[in-house]
Structure 1
C-alpha cells in the first residue's frame, strides 16, 4: 500500500496573459466562477480529498492568493454585525487551519516542471498531489480524490487523462499506452505536445497529478523541453523504467478556465449545479437562445 498523500502543490505563478486586460492587476486564479475564485475551488477539492497541507508556488503580484485564505477582521466584523452568518460561515470555512498553507516563489517563468521543483523543500520525501486551478472539474467525487484512490492501490505516478481529438494532441502531454482497461491505463512513455501525425495516442493529461518524490531528482537534471521550459512530462517520462505510470479516465467534466469560452462554460455549468441558481439561470439561457434564433 502506498503512503498517504498529505500535501498538494498549486503552481500559480503564471501571468494569465490570455485574460488581459482583466488580469493586468489581478491574479488569474482569482477569476470567479459564479461566486468563488478558481483557486478556492482547487483548494476545496484538495481538502475534500483529505489533503491537509497546501503549497502555493507563486510569482510577483500573487500575494492576493494567500490573502484570500487569511482572516479579514473588518469584513468578518461587518458580516457579524449585519447578521450575515451564512456568508460569514462560508467565508471562514474556506480558510485552511493555521500552519497548513505554505508559499514559495518561482522567480523565472521556466514552466510547470520548474514550478513543481520549487516546492521540493515543502514536499520532502513523500508522494504529493499537483492541482492546476485553470482546470476546473465538475464531478461527484473530487477529481484529485479519484487519483488518490488509484494511487493507494497501484502506487507510482498517476495522472488524470481524457481522450481528445487527434488534431489537438499538440496542446497536451500525451500517453504512450501499453495497457488500457477503459478506465485505468498503464503507460510506457509520454510525449509533450506531439504533432497529431506522430502522437502515440489521444489520451491527454489534464491538470491533476499524484507524483512520487523521485520526480524532484529528475527535474534537477532533465534538459529543457518544449518551449524552452522544464517540462513535468519529461521528468515523469524519465522515471517510467523505475516507477509505474498510470493515467486515470476520471469521472466528471473538465472546464479549461484558461480559455475564455471554457471559462464561460464553467460559470454556466457550476451555476446550473446549484439549487439556488439553477432555475433562474435556465430561464436566462432560454431567453438568450430564443433571441438567437
Structure 2
C-alpha cells in the first residue's frame, strides 16, 4: 500500500480577504499558515505534498514555501483550470470562477493515482492532532463493500471568527462514529445571547447549532478509490447542477462525499478533535491568528524557526 499524500487546495481567489492570503506571513519569523500545516503533516508521517494552485501562482508559491518544503518532503504542483475536466465536458462560456473544491482535488488525479490522500485548505490552521489522526487512519484504511473515507470534525464553537460570519459543513454522525450527513450552513456566528446560529437559506429557516456539534473544515481522508469516483460526480454536477448557476455554481467536496454516503457506496469516519481552528477569513482575523501562533510558539509547540 502506498503512503498517504497530503493534497493542499490553494487555487481559491481569496475574494473576501482581498489578496493572496495563502502566502501572507502570520508566524513570528515570517512563517505562513502553510508552513505550520506542512510542519505538522511531516511530524505525523506525510512525506509528500501536492499543491493545487492556479498556474500563474506557481512562482509565488515556490518562493514562499515550495523550496523550503523540498528540504524534507517531495513537492509537486497540480493546476486547477477551467479546461481541466473529464473528457467531453466544457466549462460554461464566460465562466471565470473556479469550479469548486471537489474539482480541485480531481485536478490532482495524475499525481496521486493509487495513493491515499489527505485534503486540506491552504489558508486554515488545523493543529497537529488533526494531522496525526488522519495519517493514522489512512495508513490502515482499506475499502471493502464500501469506500472507507474519513474527515476530521471540529467542534463548531472552535471554528468561529469574531470578525464576521463563516460557512461550515455541519455534520451528524451515527452511533458508530460514521458521518450520517453533512449540510452546508452559511452566515454562522455567535449571537448576543451566546447561541450559535446560521442564516436562512431559500425556503429553509434560520436555526441554531448546538455547541459541540462537529463541523467540517475540509480536512478529509480518502482511499485511492475517491478520484475515479469524482469523475462520475463531476459529470453529474455538469448535467444536473451547474446549468442552474453556470457562472458561480461549484462542486464541493462535502457534496461529493454526501452523495456517496446517501447512495450507500461510502462511509466517512468522523475523527473528532478538540483543536481550535484558526483561519484568515477576513483581513481583521490576521492579528488573532498571529497572536495564537505566537502563544503556541512560546509554549514550545512550534520552534520559532520552522
What's the TM-score once normalised by structure 1's chain length?
Answer: 0.71
SS for the counterpart of 1:18 is: coil
Out of 122, 134, 156, the residue aligned to residue 133 of structure 1 is 122
Out of 169, 194, 203, the residue aligned to residue 173 of structure 1 is 169
Kindly state the Cα deviation for residue 95 of structure 1 after the two structures are TM-superposed. 3.0
User: 2:260 matched to 1:239?
Assistant: yes
Q: Which runs of 5+ in 1 are unaligned?
A: 72-93, 278-293
Kindly state the Cα deviation for residue 198 of structure 1 after the two structures are TM-superposed. 9.9
User: 2:77 matched to 1:103?
Assistant: yes
Cα 1:273–1:188, aligned 2, differ >3 Å: closer, same or farther? closer
Q: Are 2:21 and 2:280, in contact at CA under 8 Å, matched by a contact in 1?
A: no
Q: Are 1:9 and 1:128, in contact at CA under 8 Å, matched by a contact in 2?
A: yes
1:129, 1:12 → 2: CA distance? 14
Out of 266, 275, 290, the residue aligned to residue 252 of structure 1 is 275
Q: Are 1:39 and 1:65, in contact at CA under 8 Å, matched by a contact in 2?
A: no
SS for the counterpart of 1:189 is: strand
Query: How many residues in Structure 1 have an aligned counterpart in Structure 2?
Result: 240
Out of 99, 106, 111, the residue aligned to residue 117 of structure 1 is 106
SS for the counterpart of 1:46 is: helix
SS for the counterpart of 1:143 is: helix
The runs of at least 4 aligned residues of structure 1 exceeding 6 Å deviation read 198-201
Question: In terms of mean alpha carbon deviation, does 95-104 or 227-236 score higher?
Answer: 95-104
Query: Computing the radius of gyration over CA atoms, which structure comes out larger, 1 or 2?
Result: 1
For the aligned residues, what is the CA RMSD?
3.1
Q: Are 1:191 and 1:199, in contact at CA under 8 Å, matched by a contact in 2?
A: no
Determine the structure 2 residue equivalent to 1:147. Answer: 134
Kindly state the Cα deviation for residue 256 of structure 1 after the two structures are TM-superposed. 2.0
User: 2:47 matched to 1:52?
Assistant: yes
SS for the counterpart of 2:297 is: coil
1:142, 1:163 → 2: CA distance? 14
Determine the structure 2 residue equivalent to 1:266. Answer: 289
Kindly state the Cα deviation for residue 8 of structure 1 after the two structures are TM-superposed. 1.0
Residues 229-253 of structure 1, C-alpha deviations (whole Å, 9 max, x = no match): 1111122123322332111221321
Q: Which runs of 5+ in 2 are unaligned?
A: 83-97, 143-147, 187-200, 301-306
Higher helix share: 1
Residues 151-175 of structure 1, C-alpha deviations (whole Å, 9 max, x = no match): 446652111112326xx99822222
2:277, 2:152 → 1: CA distance? 10
Q: Are 1:164 and 1:203, in contact at CA under 8 Å, matched by a contact in 2?
A: yes
